[in-house]
Amino acid sequence: MQQTGNESPKSNGGQTSKPLEVAIIGGGIVGLILAAGLTRQNIKFSIYEQARNFRELGAGIGFTRNTVQCMEMINPDIVTALRNAGSVNISLDKGDPNAYFRWIDGYTEHKKDDPSWQKVLCVLNAGPKGWEIVRRDHFLENLVKLVPEGSVHLRHRVDHIEQPDDDGKVELTFSDGNTAYADAVFACDGIKSRTRRIMLGDEHPASFPQYTHKVAYRTLVPMKDVLPLLGEYKTMRHHMHVGPNAHLIHYPVNSTLVGATVVVTDPNDWSVDQPNLLRVTRDEVEKAFANWCKPVQDLVSLFPQELDQWALFDMFEYPVPQYNFDRICLAGDAAHASSPHHGAGASMGVEDILCLSTLLRKIIAPISNGDLNKSHALKEAFSIYNGIRQPRTRWMVNSSRRACDLYQQPEWADPQKREKAESCFEELTDRSFKIWDFDAKAMVEETEQEAMERILAPPASLTNGTVPSEGPKVVSSATSKNAVPVPSHLEQKAVATIPLNETPQVVEKEPQPVEKKADSAHSTSSAEEKPLAQAHDQRSRSPLINRLSIKSARAWLHRRSVDGARVGSSF
């Protein structure tokens, strides 16, 4: 059997001064951001990507201001790569650095004498440079430049993983028979994660993503062609056109291109085994917007005659029970793939990497000089990561589904029920600010404190010394005896549904931009959310105070999300 990548399979009984060696499965944006973080800490790593080359499909990708701050904390070179890729503010308002999100009525023509007029339903202010947009492929190209030569292995599809019971290396076997070894494995291999499937087993429902019954069409349109149809104001600013069973988003990707994304409800089934990308004609999109207002139809007319149709999958119905498996952990879409309706799936992955980078920074030196047992330190670090990241990311998956339901309410088509449909924006405001107001520094402080309590000052049994043997753990196929069992609450498929009439508030007829309140970054919208909000109020004052309350709140949210019930809109 041929070896590739890190090749130090033998254990040294826990006494080691050798540097940590890491395997990254997946060479997408999240995997490369992790690689940049490891590079900054001088941690040796190898990237294993099953494709023939690095590639990102789709048009634009957006990052919140706080996500960019996370990138800066992981490695400032990531932000440089973002800017070198041509990122721009989501709203190109001259003289105004703020990012605005605008929802407008895309279905109803309110003024027959001016068919281009559309009612503005809600405007949110995400703050200065609150949301940056960049072309996916350009960003990926610039991230690849941060990866040291010789650390990338293309056309490597993991097929088998074995974890030893001591401080030895985790063994990766690839589909071509090659093997590699690492102290820790980070699975960043996307929504159809091969690693997740190996660790859980084919019988576990969370091994596979589920179809959301939505399809998306993404394209880039020359800005010069959009300007005469939509005018400068709409063309240069983010807008979402909402209506029954569909919505359309457009935004400036750079100074010459407008990105457009269409999402349409699909009543049909779509197997996870099918390709999730089909080539279709523009007629499919035009049919979906046949009865919509003129600006929407005009923009769709600029789409290419042939374009890609994406089947949207997520982990809503069957969330992954855990993100850590001893010295293997899942990050990004491999752990918590969401539908794209908040535009923040990649941001969640970057937050994951900041948490993991923080943990590695705390334990790398004690491991390297032999003060910590490597295996136990890594297992405990990944357990901390799971506890910190799982509640927020599970909420994100659920909230994205809910947001799309609100964008596409059938009530938009009924004049007598339109006022009820418009009442959704109080809820959407809460959900949006929960994503945008993420406190990265507080997460880092909490992560560091957890590491201090659970790793750097561990019981004597976890310090360097003999580790009780549990036998090797092997996972290689759907029939693995070590596959995670299916939890009882997942044995019957149960999809959480949320009535659309939960939020009776009505927005004003002429909305002004809603801005973040300085003293209420984490507002609550119902009584059941108060324990969680209180915990985060405490954390915002001091992350080291009342930690029991914080953990209790996290456990509460964990139970809520696992049971499939609605999770509140505050974190």
Query: Side-chain half-sphere of 240: how many Cα atoms within 13 Å?
Result: 24
Tens digit of each residue's pLDDT (9 = 90 or more) over 485-507: 444 444 433 333 334 334 334 34
pLDDT for residue 111: 63
Task: Confirm whether 307 is domain-assigned.
Answer: yes
Residue 525 has pLDDT above 90, yes or no: no
Residue pLDDT, tens place only, 304-354: 999 999 999 999 999 999 999 999 999 999 999 999 999 999 999 999 999
Q: pLDDT tens, 435-454? A: 999 999 999 999 999 999 99
Domain range enclosing 232: 90-131+209-314
CA distance 381 to 356: 8
Whether the pLDDT of residue 480 is over 70: the answer is: no
**pLDDT confidence band for 203 (50 / 70 / 90):** very high
pLDDT for residue 108: 85
Told to judge if 251 belongs to the known catalytic residues of this protein, a careful annotator would answer yes
Q: Is residue 347 part of a domain?
A: no
Q: Per the domain annotation, does 196 fall within a domain?
A: no
Residue 473 structure tokens: 């753990």
pLDDT band at 382 (very low <50, low <70, confident <90, very high): very high
Query: Does residue 2 have a pLDDT over 90?
Result: no
Average pLDDT over residues 17-45: 94
Hunting for tokens 């136990």 — which residue is that? Answer: 376
pLDDT in tens, 48-90: 999 888 776 556 788 999 999 999 999 999 999 999 998 888 8
**What is the average pLDDT value for the chain, to the nearest integer?**
82
pLDDT at 370 over 50: yes
Pairwise CA distance, residues 457 & 130, whole Å: 39
440-466 b/e with 16+ CB inside 10 Å = b?
A: beebbbbbbebbeebbeeeeeebebee
Q: Provide the terminal-to-terminal Cα distance of the chain, rounded to the nearest Å.
A: 49
Q: What are phi and psi of 475, to 5 degrees?
A: -135, 125
Please list, in sequence order, all residues whose beta carbon lies within 8 angstroms of the beta carbon of residue 239, skipping any fewer than 6 positions away. 102, 103, 104, 249, 250, 251
Q: Which residue has the higher pLDDT, 10 or 33?
A: 33
Sign of CA dihedral 144, 150, 154, 160: negative
Residue 562 DSSP label: H
Query: Can you give the length of the chain in residues?
Result: 571
Identify whether 174 is part of a domain: no
The pLDDT value given to residue 89: 82
DSSP collapsed to 3 states, 309-328: EEEEEECCCCCCCCCEECCE
pLDDT of 221 over the 90 cut = yes
Q: What is the pTM of this model?
A: 0.80
d(CA 565, CA 498): 8
* Sheet containing strand 88-89, strands side by side: 60-64, 131-135, 88-89
Residue 462 has pLDDT above 90, yes or no: no
- Does the annotation mark 194 as catalytic? no
Cα 471 from Cα 294, distance rounded (Å):
67
Could you tell me if 398 and 434 are in contact, meaning their C-beta atoms sit under 8 angstroms apart?
no
Give percent of the chain above pLDDT 70: 75
Q: Would residue 99 count as lying in a domain?
A: yes
Q: How many domains does the chain have?
A: 1
User: For residue 111, is it within any domain?
Assistant: yes
541 pLDDT tier (thresholds 50, 70, 90): very low
What per-residue string of b and e applies to 518-538 under the rule 16 or more CB within 10 Å gives b? Answer: eeebbbbbeeebebbbbbbbb
CA distance 257 to 248: 16
3-class state of residue 276 by DSSP:
coil
CA distance linking residue 444 with residue 381, whole number of Å:
13
In a domain, 221, yes or no: yes
Instruction: List all residues 6 or more positions away from 176 whose beta carbon is below 8 Å from its beta carbon.
Output: 155, 156, 157
pLDDT of residue 554: 42
Alpha-carbon gap, residue 550 to 548, rounded angstroms: 5
> Over the Cα atoms of the chain, what is R_g?
24
Which residues touch 514 (CB under 8 Å, ≥6 apart)?
A: 122, 123, 124, 125, 429
The token pair that represents 328 in the structure block = 């293997």
Q: Pick the catalytic residue from 218, 389, 401, 539.
A: 218
From the candidates 211, 251, 318, 407, give the one annotated as an active-site residue: 251
* Residue 558 exposed, middle or buried by CB count within 10 Å (0-12, 13-18, 19+): middle
SS3 call for 127: strand
**What's 287's domain CATH number?**
3.30.9.30
Residue at 450 is within a domain = no
